[in-house]
Amino acid sequence: MSDMTPQEKVRTCLNYIDNRLETTSQQTIQIAEMMMEDIREFNDSYLDAVKNNNLAEYTDQVRNTQLKWMNQLQDIIVEQTSRDLSGQVILALQSFTDKLEGAKLKNVDFELPSAVASKQADALDYMSQEDIDALMNQDT
């Protein structure tokens, strides 16, 4: 990891942010797929609810699911705003680092954040965030 130039470290950090944004996009797609599956189930179970005179129960299930959707859609909207802003920041930082690739940046080094460093091929043995959280939550 110490073999990396400052430019490579900056680019590695930017790539890490970009990958996290892509993961968030995948979560948004998963939510949309879940909503589509819920709608299919509602369509399939409607006729059964009519036949068995369970429309009140069916309506409650639909309402509760719609409330769940509303919460998830609000999260998507917040994430999208953050994603758009982060994407703009990434482009600006990439442009900035491209302009600084001269002698100035070669003399300015920094340590990669552990979350980024742990994803590198030659990474030292870093604890995962889950392990850190587990340790922090243990009784001392």
pLDDT of residue 56: 92
Count CA atoms closer than 13 A to 44's CA, side-chain side: 6
pLDDT of residue 106: 63
- Give the DSSP per-residue string, 4-62: S-HHHHHHHHHHHHHHHHHHHHHHHHHHHHHHHHHHHHHHHHHHHHHHTT-HHHHHHHH
pLDDT interval class at 57 (50, 70, 90): very high
Report the pLDDT averaged over residues 20-34.
79
- Specify the pTM: 0.47
Residue with tokens 């999260």: 75
Gap between the Cα atoms of 119 and 37, Å rounded: 34
Residues for the chain: how many in total?
140
Neighbours of 107 (CB within 10 A): 7
Question: Coil, helix or strand for 122?
Answer: coil
The rounded percent of the chain whose pLDDT value lies above 90 is 12
